[in-house]
Amino acid sequence: MKKIELLAPAGDLEKLKTAIIYGADAVYIGGEKFGLRAASKNFTDEEMIEGIEFAHSRGKKVYVTCNIIPHNMDLNGVKEYFISLEKLGVDAIIVADPAFMSIAKEVVPDMELHLSTQANTTNYITADFWHKQGISRIVSARELSMKEIKDIKTHCPDLEIEMFVHGAMCISYSGRCLMSNFMTNRDANKGACAQPCRWNYSLVEEKRPGEYFPIEQDERGTYFFNSKDLCLIEHTKEIIESGVDSMKIEGRIKTAYYVAVVVRAYRMAIDSYYENPDAWQFKQEWLDEVQKASYRDFTTAFFDGSKDTSNSQNYGSGSYIRTYDIIGNVLSYDENTKLCRVRQKNRFFKNDEIEIIGPNFPTTTATIKSITSLDGKDMDCSNIPMQEVYVDLGIDVKQDYILRKKVDK
């Protein structure tokens, strides 16, 4: 049985390595040009080389986003950039526009091309059209139901389909939005979205300038453009059995901790299915796990085909929910001393109760028994970002495990 791909976001080299270590089959990244995440750190050529080597040495793939909606001026340098990507060894280029697709077919004819969700592919005739132009995979529009996606796969069995299953949703049609341009002069279709859909709004009457009337959902006002986050982990079995080729997680601007937590949860759900498809059952612990990364409530959005998406909006707040903080990454573990070397991310104290997660390692609770500086001094607290210390957790751990602590309200 061909296994479904788990595709993870990688906004920088740390996130790429984290995604692969925690179970992603492939990652999508952006270079320094032509991608839709200008706020992400993105990759230099040198970082891309290191990331591709890291992925390929583990049998994983790297896709590069070149999915802006280009104007004439944006066509300069595209040919040279695509040729450089091929030389670097990327596995596919993600495009959204016929111009970039045409250029790619001309200068890198053997390169695999994926069609971004920005292209708004919503039916099987359109999907087939793109397939005939040389597209090997489409990223389905987020506005599609599971039934519609299955219909596309039925009519286009040789075309791969990539489907968003987790992460931020957009108020606009698959991300084609002009609000950010209009309000902040930042072009969302070139990667610089200011997310004005997340802001709180009031009403101003034309002849009463300066008088702001709240559009009240409650005492805080209403965020009527603000979508909840997508989460389809409960529907893993249906998605796999639909014939979809890739389950995609959104979030190149999110933290490495977010990537680790969400990838790990979906990895567990997917692997559980392949162990025994007929007996697969959703486990609440998987949903509990993704809720330990920051999120804006969850919705299944258009999955079931419902036309009423009012429950998919978060009218009360544009803020994230955050219940856990990463406190450190395990750099190494000494079997003799039973101490792990930890790089601190958020402060922690001796006697703190924490959780430990790792790839192929169940969520485990522990108590910090001791903290020691690298020169051997006992410490009550580690409170300097990126500080490295030795920690006694009382249990065996491995490199790349993550330590986290419940947020103190």
Measured between its terminal Cα atoms, the distance across the chain in Å is: 47
Rg over alpha carbons for the chain, rounded to the nearest Å, is 23
* Last residue within a domain, chosen from 277, 312, 347: 312
Of 121, 115, 166, 165, nearest in space to 137 by CA: 115
Contact 218, 64 (CB under 8 A): no
In a domain, 272, yes or no: yes
Q: Which of these three, 312, 344, 371, is where a domain ends?
A: 312
Domain that holds residue 165: 5-173+226-312
Closest CA to 265 of 28, 59, 19: 19
Do 98 and 233 fall into the same domain?
yes
For residue range 178-188, what is the model confidence (pLDDT) as tens digits?
677 767 878 77
Instruction: Provide the number of structural domains found in the chain.
Output: 2
Where is the domain boundary, 245, 277, 312? Answer: 312
How far is it, in rounded angstroms, from Cα 237 to Cα 221?
39
Q: What is the pLDDT of residues 93-106, one digit of tens each?
A: 999 999 999 999 99
**Window from 112-116, 189-193, 389-393 with minimum mean pLDDT:** 189-193
**Assigned domain for 107 exists:** yes
Query: Which residues, 6+ apart, have CB-to-CB distance to 176 below 8 Å?
Result: 69, 118, 120, 188, 189
| 154 plus 93 within the same structural domain | yes
Q: Looking at the structure, tell me whether residues 157 and 294 fall in a common domain.
A: yes
Residues 333 and 272 in one domain: no
149 and 284 fall within a common domain? yes
8-state DSSP, 110: T
Whether residues 243 and 348 share a domain: the answer is no
C-alpha to C-alpha distance for 172 and 196, rounded to whole angstroms? 12
Task: Please say if the pLDDT value at position 221 is more than 80.
Answer: no
Q: Examine the domain organization and report whether 38 and 113 are in the same domain.
A: yes
Residues 305 and 357 in one domain: no
| 213 in any annotated domain | no
Looking at 133-255, list the stretches that DSSP marks H as alpha helix, in order from N- to C-terminal side: 146-155, 179-184, 236-241
Residue 97 lies in a domain: yes
Percent of the chain at pLDDT above 70? 90
* Average confidence (pLDDT) over 351-371: 96
Phi and psi of 19, rounded to 5°? -60, -45
Is 91 a domain residue?
A: yes
Whether residue 331 is found in the same domain as residue 300: no
What is the distance of C-alpha 104 from the center of its chain?
A: 26
Distance CA(167)–CA(247), nearest Å, equals: 12
How confident is the model over 138-175, as pLDDT tens digits?
999 888 999 999 999 999 999 999 999 999 887 766 66
Q: Is residue 220 over pLDDT 60?
A: no
pTM of the complete model: 0.88
CATH number at 369 reads 2.40.30.10
294: domain CATH number?
3.20.20.70
Does residue 179 belong to any structural domain of this protein?
no
Residue 181 within any structural domain of the chain: no
Residue 134 CB neighbours (<10 A): 14
CA–CA separation, 327 and 356 (whole Å): 10
In a domain, 68, yes or no: yes
- The pLDDT, as a whole number, for residue 69 is 87
Q: Tell me which H or E stretch contains 265.
A: helix 256-275
Residue 226 has pLDDT above 80, yes or no: no
Whether residue 280 is found in the same domain as residue 331: no
Between 33 and 107, the more confident residue is 107
Range with lowest mean pLDDT among 16-30, 167-181, 360-374: 167-181
389 shares a domain with 253 = no
